[in-house]
């Protein structure tokens, strides 16, 4: 997805002369096209993320739209106070662009995996939070982000995402996208683990359940109405995300259900365990360790429908 | 571009009187920090900076960022005296719903360029403004006031390295060197040779007396100190300057003025 980011950033920069890119010295074999095409609007701030975010605030105060780029832990956690005070509180036009997320860097170890970024960024005022699920969503989310003023955070999958849409869905920040219709239960997914949700749905359908699938590339603002509607129209809501148990998609959906007057709605959230970042392994291995694989998700949901 | 500086002492006196009065009436803390840097702000706003209080956002203006945000009252009172807004507004300093916090928010008053409060943020924001201004030949200079205790923050040195590397000679840091920080003296808590440090990061460094208005103004009107290098003035100051029993005392950071202290301070001005 980072290549999709750069491709769309290049396109946007052709028409918006105020668009800048600052990197914390990462982006090898990804950011070079922007650096070469717009050297005056590219800045490598060095391995110094706190300063990088402060610089971005200075550029934004001077009227620029700025993307800051580093992998998520170095950006979101190292420079969090700068993101909060200098970007979110001042409501500045800075986009926090983080490749990776979840187990994307799996075998690189705990320092590189992230189970908390969405929760933290959702908690910040003024901050839009985006987590696209496939190449189409990534393209649409990046285009929308680069065309919209204000702070935003985007969590980009690392590589190899499949296409899940036949055409181009209608996209706007804050809206959930319908991926598949169904009447018995709803799977809500965010990020590129949508592939796992789709495979789980196939298993469930073979068991005779009609599964609706919603993808949530936008986690803040969040499309509460689409979830509420699914909760009214189907018997269960199940969330799938590559994020920890606190503050992600599952929490956002649980809040909607708690606020509703619906009773007996079936609900479960599938995501990373609280301490899952401490394990080592490939993304696929770590997903399985956390139950984030189709057979497990389908089996857990079927249990709820059998009782 | 030296401007008339003969009445700076009179102006500084008026601002101090206003700051002490507002702090007393609103039971505010941090007055020691305010009095430490008011002479510097007076020289900046009444002699050195290219600004227009009637047009606070004029494109080629000089910027000021109060990185030691806890001295917000110094900034507010200086802006008021400079004509950015009616000093009466400061009666609401710290009041419920006023927006005038003990640490400044961007645009809470005309002339406040950036929100500060967490130490170690202002210099990087200022460096961003300065880097862009230099690249686009906008003509802006950026003045950032830091505390000497604030120089403990690692982010200050990230920015120091950046500005040195990029030769931001339109960036001017002033370190309010009052030698006191949160829990005691800077030398006891985390000793730093600031001159050597800033020099090592590629900055032009100059020590000045932070309460000698003529000296501050003269130096701030001869910038850059040397070409293609960012500038830093280590301004030797006295925390709580002007309130006899608070001078160079840690309590000036935390305590509020009593009636007797207030009356004496005003009369001594």
Provide the residue range defining the domain that includes A17. Answer: 2-156
The alpha carbon of residue A189 is apart from the nearest alpha carbon of chain B, in Å, by 37
Answer yes or no: do A210 and A152 share one domain: no
Q: Which of A145, A132, A131 is nearest to A9 (CA)?
A: A145
* Whether pLDDT at A301 is above 70: yes
CATH of the domain at A151: 3.40.50.970
What is the percent of chain A where pLDDT is above 70?
Answer: 100
Q: Quick: pLDDT tens for B140-154.
A: 999 999 999 999 999
**pLDDT level of residue B2 (50, 70, 90 thresholds):** very low
Q: Which residues of chain A from 272 to 301 reach within 8 Å of chain B, CB to CB?
A: none
The total domain count for chain B is 1
Q: Does A40 touch chain B (CB under 8 A)?
A: yes
Which of A213-227 are b and which e, b meaning 16 or more Cβ less than 10 Å from the residue's Cβ? Answer: bbbbbbbbebbbebb
Q: Quick: pLDDT tens for A72-113.
A: 999 999 999 999 999 999 999 999 999 989 999 888 888 899
- According to the model, what pLDDT value does residue B268 have? 85
d(CA B173, CA B163) in angstroms, rounded, equals 11
- According to the model, what pLDDT value does residue B269 have? 83
Q: Does B141 touch chain A (CB under 8 A)?
A: no
Answer yes or no: do A141 and A262 share one domain: no
Which of A144-156 are b and which e, b meaning 16 or more Cβ less than 10 Å from the residue's Cβ? Answer: bbbeeebbbbbbb
* Whether pLDDT at A262 is above 90: no
Answer yes or no: do A16 and A148 share one domain: yes
3-state SS class at A188? strand
Query: Is A168 inside any structural domain?
Result: no
Q: Quick: pLDDT tens for B62-95.
A: 999 999 999 999 999 999 999 999 999 999 999 9
Decide if B124 and A82 are in contact by the 8 Å CB cutoff.
Answer: yes
Query: Is B3 inside any structural domain?
Result: no
Biggest distance spanned by C-alpha atoms of chain B: 53
Nearest-by-Cβ selection for A57 from B125, B135, B162: B125
Answer yes or no: do A152 and A224 share one domain: no
What is the percent of chain B where pLDDT is above 70?
Answer: 98
DSSP code string of A193-208: THHHHHHHHHHHHHTT
Decide if B128 and A46 are in contact by the 8 Å CB cutoff.
Answer: no
Mutate: best of B128, B129, B141, B143, partner A, most A CBs <10 A:
B128
Query: Is A167 inside any structural domain?
Result: no
What average pLDDT does range B194-201 have in this prediction?
98
The total domain count for chain A is 2
d(CA B20, CA B16) in angstroms, rounded, equals 6
Report H helices in chain B. Answer: 8-25, 31-43, 72-82, 122-135, 154-166, 186-189, 194-200, 213-220, 251-254, 259-268
Provide the residue range defining the domain that includes B96. Answer: 8-268
The alpha carbon of residue A51 is apart from the nearest alpha carbon of chain B, in Å, by 5
What average pLDDT does range B93-102 have in this prediction?
92
What average pLDDT does range A106-131 have in this prediction?
94
Q: Which of B92, B87, B162 is nearest to B123 (CA)?
A: B162
Answer yes or no: do A112 and A197 share one domain: no
* Whether pLDDT at B1 is above 50: no
Residues of chain B with C-beta less than 8 angstroms from the C-beta of A42: none
Edge-to-edge strands, sheet with A42-44 = A42-44, A19-23, A65-69, A94-99, A152-156, A128-130, A218-220
Mean pLDDT over the full length of chain B: 95
Query: Is A171 inside any structural domain?
Result: no
Answer yes or no: do A259 and A190 share one domain: yes
Residue pair A124/A84 in contact (Cβ under 8 Å)? The answer is yes
Q: Quick: pLDDT tens for A184-233.
A: 999 999 999 999 999 999 999 999 999 999 999 999 999 999 999 999 99
CATH of the domain at B262: 3.40.50.970
Decide if A59 and B124 are in contact by the 8 Å CB cutoff.
Answer: no
Q: Does B154 touch chain A (CB under 8 A)?
A: yes
Q: Quick: pLDDT tens for A49-73.
A: 999 999 999 999 999 999 999 999 9
Answer yes or no: do A53 and A102 share one domain: yes
d(CA A117, CA A27) in angstroms, rounded, equals 19
Query: Is B26 inside any structural domain?
Result: yes
Query: Is A71 inside any structural domain?
Result: yes
Q: A258 — alpha (psi -120 to 50), left (phi > 0) or beta?
A: alpha
Nearest-by-Cβ selection for A90 from B115, B124, B131: B115
Query: Is B131 inside any structural domain?
Result: yes
* Whether pLDDT at B4 is above 60: no
Q: Quick: pLDDT tens for B45-56.
A: 999 999 999 999
The alpha carbon of residue B112 is apart from the nearest alpha carbon of chain A, in Å, by 12
């Amino acid at each position: 997805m980072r290549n999709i980011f750069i491709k769309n950033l290049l396109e946007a920069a052709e028409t918006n002369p105020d668009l800048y890119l600052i990197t914390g010295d990462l982006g090898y074999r990804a950011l070079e096209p922007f650096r070469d095409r717009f050297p005056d609007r590219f800045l490598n701030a060095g391995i110094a993320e706190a300063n990088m975010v402060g610089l971005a605030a200075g550029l934004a105060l001077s009227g620029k739209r700025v993307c800051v780029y580093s992998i998520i832990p170095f950006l979101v956690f190292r420079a969090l106070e700068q993101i909060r005070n200098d970007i979110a509180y001042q409501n500045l036009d800075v986009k926090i662009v983080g490749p990776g997320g979840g187990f994307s860097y799996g075998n690189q170890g705990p320092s590189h995996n992230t189970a908390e970024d969405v929760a933290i960024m959702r908690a910040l005022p003024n901050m839009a939070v985006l987590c696209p699920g496939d190449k189409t969503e990534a393209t649409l989310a990046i285009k929308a982000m680069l065309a919209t003023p204000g702070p935003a955070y985007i969590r980009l999958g690392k590589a190899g995402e499949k296409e899940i849409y036949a055409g181009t869905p209608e996209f706007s920040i804050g809206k959930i996208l319908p991926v598949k219709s169904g009447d018995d239960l709803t799977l809500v997914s965010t990020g590129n683990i949508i592939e796992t949700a789709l495979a789980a749905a196939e298993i469930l359908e073979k068991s005779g359940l009609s599964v609706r699938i919603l993808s949530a590339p936008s986690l803040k603002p969040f499309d509460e109405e689409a979830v509420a509607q699914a909760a009214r129209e189907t018997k269960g809501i199940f969330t799938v995300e590559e994020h920890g148990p606190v503050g992600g998609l599952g929490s956002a959906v649980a809040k909607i259900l708690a606020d509703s007057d619906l009773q007996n709605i079936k609900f479960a959230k599938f995501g990373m365990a609280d301490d899952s970042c401490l394990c080592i392994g490939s993304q696929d291995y770590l997903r399985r360790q956390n139950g984030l694989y189709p057979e497990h998700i389908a089996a857990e949901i079927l249990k709820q429908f059998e009782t | 571009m030296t401007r008339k500086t003969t009445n700076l002492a009179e102006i500084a006196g008026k601002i101090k009187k206003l700051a002490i009065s507002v702090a007393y009436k609103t039971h505010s803390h941090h007055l020691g920090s305010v009095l430490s840097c008011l002479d510097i702000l007076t020289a900046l706003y009444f002699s050195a900076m290219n600004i227009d209080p009637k047009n606070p956002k004029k494109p080629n203006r000089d910027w000021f960022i109060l990185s030691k945000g806890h001295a917000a009252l110094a900034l507010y009172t200086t802006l008021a005296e400079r004509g950015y807004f009616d000093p009466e507004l400061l009666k609401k300093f710290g009041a419920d719903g006023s927006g005038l916090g003990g640490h400044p928010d961007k645009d809470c008053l005309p002339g406040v360029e950036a929100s500060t409060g967490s130490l170690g943020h202002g210099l990087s924001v200022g460096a961003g403004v300065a880097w862009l201004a230099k690249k686009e030949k906008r003509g802006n200079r950026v003045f950032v006031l830091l505390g000497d205790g604030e120089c403990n923050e690692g982010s200050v040195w990230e920015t120091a390295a950046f500005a040195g590397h990029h030769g931001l000679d339109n960036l001017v840091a002033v370190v309010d060197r009052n030698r006191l920080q949160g829990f005691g003296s800077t030398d006891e808590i985390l000793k730093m040779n600031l001159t050597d440090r800033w020099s090592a990061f590629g900055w032009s460094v100059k020590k000045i007396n932070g309460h000698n208005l003529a000296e501050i103004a003269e130096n701030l009107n001869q910038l850059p100190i040397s070409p293609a290098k960012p500038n830093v003035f280590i301004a030797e100051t006295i925390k709580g300057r002007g309130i006899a029993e608070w001078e160079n005392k840690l309590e000036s950071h935390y305590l509020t003025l009593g009636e007797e202290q207030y009356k004496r301070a005003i009369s001594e001005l």
